[in-house]
Amino acid sequence: MPTTLVAPKEALIAVIGNPNTGKTTLFNKLTGKRQRVGNYPGITVEKKTGRLEISGRQINLVDLPGAYSLAATSPDERVAVDVLTGNSDLPTPDLVVCVADAANLQRNLFLAMQVADFGLPMVLALNMTDEAGKLGIEIDVDKLSAKLGIPVVPMVAVKSQGLDQLKLAISAALERPQIPLTVNWPAGVTDALDTLEAGLANGEGEPLTHAELRRILFDADSALLERTGVHKDKIRPLLAAAREHLFKAGMNPLAAEALIVYKHLGSLLADVEQHHDTGKVPFSDKLDRVLTHRVWGLLIFLGVMYVVFQSIYAWASPFMDAIEWLTKLVQEPVSAWLASSPVLQSLFADGVIAGVGGMLVFLPQILILFFFIALLEDSGYMARAAFLMDKLFSWCGLNGKSFVPMLSGFACGIPAVMATRTIEDRKSRLTTILIAPLMSCSARLPVYVIMIGAFIEPHYGAKWAGFTLFAMHLLGLTIALPLAWFFTKFMFKGKSQPFLLELPPYRWPAPLNVIWRMWERGGQFVKRAGTIIFAMSVLIWALCYFPRPESVEEQAKQEVVQSEQAKGSTLTAIDEQLAKADSPLALALEHETASAYLEQSYMGRAGKFIQPLFAPAGFDWKITVGVLASFPAREVIISTLGIIYNLGTDVDEESDDLKSRMASEHWTSGPLKGRPVFNVPIALAIMVFFALCMQCGATVAIVIREAGLKWGIFSFAYMTVLAWIGSVLIYQIGMRIFA
Amino acid sequence: MKRLNELQPGATGIISVVNATQHIAQQLMVMGLLPGVHLEVVGVAPFGDPMTIRVKGRSVSLRRADASLVELE
């Protein structure tokens, strides 16, 4: 009979395991570059998939979020249950690879037993066997495999040891799947299940397997409750009745699963695992005595934070300068090339290139920040940081895990919001997302520098200037935590987030892992934030550019000519000057024209229209235009003010011209006519506005992506209101004190 | 009978029961805090909370409020 070669069908393998078991490293080694990060539909849990080929068979891998138990309390754990029961947008997995830490086998097998209950074929990847060996732990792999009923592959994933054996085991398991042996559930549990099953038989949901029923029985609020087809309120009495059987059998429903499964594992591992006392204290413990010490731990931690931030600024600076230089370099030829069409020329030079450049300029800082975060996470130090900082966060309903996002916010709000993924509790995560943008990101710095440089330092000296800078950075933080307390108490019904964190043993971070994570996160930033910043830059450009009647240019020219004539120049001399592109007169005309165009553009009109709203904060229409124009990106206010004050766009926060121009500005109309526009209270009001407002289209976009449209809008709205209140307060109080 | 939250750094003990009155108790048990298990208090964070304990060869940090659910022999 002729043999037909049929390509084995594509298989789906789910990878699951406790946190800190090297699961990510293993996943990366299996899939290499063929990875994709996306989202599960409808929820904000990251979906990581990859592909590999073993023996001619195409395999899809899905990396389930690390978890200690399937008892679904967090969206991550719910997703794991959904994927394993075939209830996600993925088909039911053909095989589960469970990654376990050989040095902590009993606890790791708890999750494996829960997964085993679902009856899916499984392979156990026994990782970190080298560390187990150093701790004196010896595991009889064959016995373990026999007792579990599945293949067990010892590995050291980070050194790629055991990788080929794992691939072979996977291939074999797909051909001849082995289903793990499960726990013998005592009578109390089986009785409870019968009650549940009978009670749900009349429901409209699909019939649930025993494993799924067990999850509903044991979990406080199982994800599977929705699948019963019975309303939650009707389920409660049924669950209570079922759990009565557990009570009658002398078991507490909350404790039942843990006690039963661990007892089973205890006897299973009795002759599989042996501990030899090495007599040495593990190095991790010795290190922890210092690093988690009440006093030394905290000091070292502050030191580490300082080094990280200094490095971010120091290393990023040359790159940022290079990108700015590159931006200008590209603008020139493009400008020349499009000289025939002023609209296109401005669109590309001022809109597109400036917009892209403005976004890229933050990339070095963000990459370096992600680099340090990956380094600290992989080494295990991040858990210690969360431990040390927990008290600071617990009083407002958060926990130490909010620390990394808040810290990241000092560099940039976008990675800060992205970093909230590590927070499992949905409400804590949302609260952290809402307050993270209050951290004084690096885009706010130019605004502080110019305002302080122009109005604080000249009058009050360097000491007060430094103090003001520090105070501005502190402002966001001092408002953020009480605000978190407020959100937790009144919006999220006050349930405080628990804190239970494993402090993994310290490990040398694998350089490739760190670089990979840095690159991946950086790419996400460019794709998500980049497109938004770009789009908004073009939009703002258009609002500042149009309408563009020629009459404006002609009038500006007339005014310049007239003022030169008044100084005594002849018409021919004036025309000569204007003909030369670089002459001071030509430049002055150019700047004045630009300013006039901006004034009558849509943006200028909007600024004048909205200005009354900002009058209590002391803003005139020019400042208002600056504020409006900087909604895509904060530092745009500086170049916008440059244009408005006839200095052109080539100003930055150090520009003396801009500073002196601002200092000499006076109100030309209205109740404050004749008085200077800028003074200390105004400068403070502007800084406070920028400190508290979410003037970053990209951050809004990321919040929408991570938390949903409703929260994105709320976040933008509340911060704008907060900023307005803050700047009005500062201005009004300031005027009483300083005027 | 002492509770875990009352112990100071350096103290050791064997768990007698974990009061399963709140969900956090379930998480504690899954982490390995079970009756009969030996633990050691390693340290305490700068402001007195949370605390770090060593159980089954691993370090775990938890808040004193939650630690009060763990009774020791």
pLDDT value at residue A431: 92
Name which of A71, A257, A503 is nearest B52 (Cβ-Cβ). A503
pLDDT value at residue A437: 93
Check which CATH number belongs to the domain holding B31 and give it: 2.30.30.90
The verdict on a CB contact (< 8 Å) between B31 and A391 is no
What six digits make up the tokens of A715?
Answer: 């976040």
| Alpha-carbon span A459 to A465, nearest angstrom | 10
The runs of H, that is alpha helices, within A60-128 are: 75-84, 105-116
Report residue A3's pLDDT band, with 50, 70 and 90 as the boundaries.
low
Give the containing element (helix H, strand E) for B60.
strand B58-62
3-state secondary structure of B54: strand
Pick the residue from chain A with its C-alpha nearest to B65: A498
Q: How many CB atoms lie within 10 A of CB A511?
A: 10
Chain A contact present for B36, CB below 8 A: no
DSSP state of A161: B
pLDDT value at residue B28: 92
Give the whole-number percent of chain A exceeding pLDDT 70: 97
Chain B contact present for A220, CB below 8 A: yes
Give yes or no for a contact between A128 and A102, defined as CB atoms under 8 angstroms apart.
yes
Pick the residue from chain B with its C-alpha nearest to A109: B30
State the nearest Cα–Cα gap between B72 and chain A, in angstroms: 17
| Alpha-carbon span A124 to A109, nearest angstrom | 9
Q: Residue B36's domain spans which residues? A: 2-72
What six digits make up the tokens of A736?
Answer: 């009483």
Task: Check residues A599 and A495 and name the one with the higher pLDDT.
Answer: A599
Task: Check residues A694 and A641 and name the one with the higher pLDDT.
Answer: A694
Chain B contact present for A388, CB below 8 A: yes
Amino acid, res. B16: S
pLDDT value at residue A203: 66
Residue A648, pLDDT > 70, answer no
3-state secondary structure of A38: strand
Q: How many CB atoms lie within 10 A of CB B66?
A: 20
Chain B CB contacts of A289 below 8 Å: 42-43
pLDDT digits (tens, 9 = 90+) for A651-667: 777 777 788 778 777 77
State the nearest Cα–Cα gap between A371 and chain B, in angstroms: 26
| Alpha-carbon span A503 to A288, nearest angstrom | 9
pLDDT digits (tens, 9 = 90+) for A156-185: 988 889 999 999 999 999 989 999 998 889
pLDDT value at residue A72: 66
pLDDT value at residue A344: 82
| Alpha-carbon span B51 to B41, nearest angstrom | 8
CB interface of A with B, residues 226-285, below 8 Å: 252, 254-255, 257-259, 262, 284-285
The verdict on a CB contact (< 8 Å) between A500 and B18 is no
* Cβ-Cβ contacts under 8 Å for A219 (sequence gap 6 or more): A70, A71, A72, A73
Chain B contact present for A503, CB below 8 A: yes
pLDDT value at residue A499: 87
Give the strand order in the sheet containing A122-127: A35-39, A46-54, A57-63, A11-17, A95-101, A122-127, A152-154
pLDDT value at residue A449: 85
* Residue found by looking up tokens 């109100």 in the block: A667
Give the whole-number percent of chain A exceeding pLDDT 90: 24
Name which of A107, A388, A392 is nearest B56 (Cβ-Cβ). A107
Q: How many CB atoms lie within 10 A of CB A333?
A: 10
pLDDT digits (tens, 9 = 90+) for B19-70: 988 888 889 999 999 999 999 998 888 888 899 999 988 899 999 999 999 9
Name which of A220, A284, A498 is nearest B66 (Cβ-Cβ). A498
Provide the number of CB pairs (under 8 Å) joining chain A to chain B.
123
Domain count of the fold of chain B: 1
The verdict on a CB contact (< 8 Å) between A220 and B23 is yes
Q: What are phi and psi of B44, to 5 degrees?
A: -140, 145
Closest CA to A180 of A100, A102, A256: A100
Chain A contact present for B15, CB below 8 A: no
Chain B CB contacts of A246 below 8 Å: none
Name which of B35, B48, B50 is nearest A387 (Cβ-Cβ). B50
pLDDT value at residue B20: 85
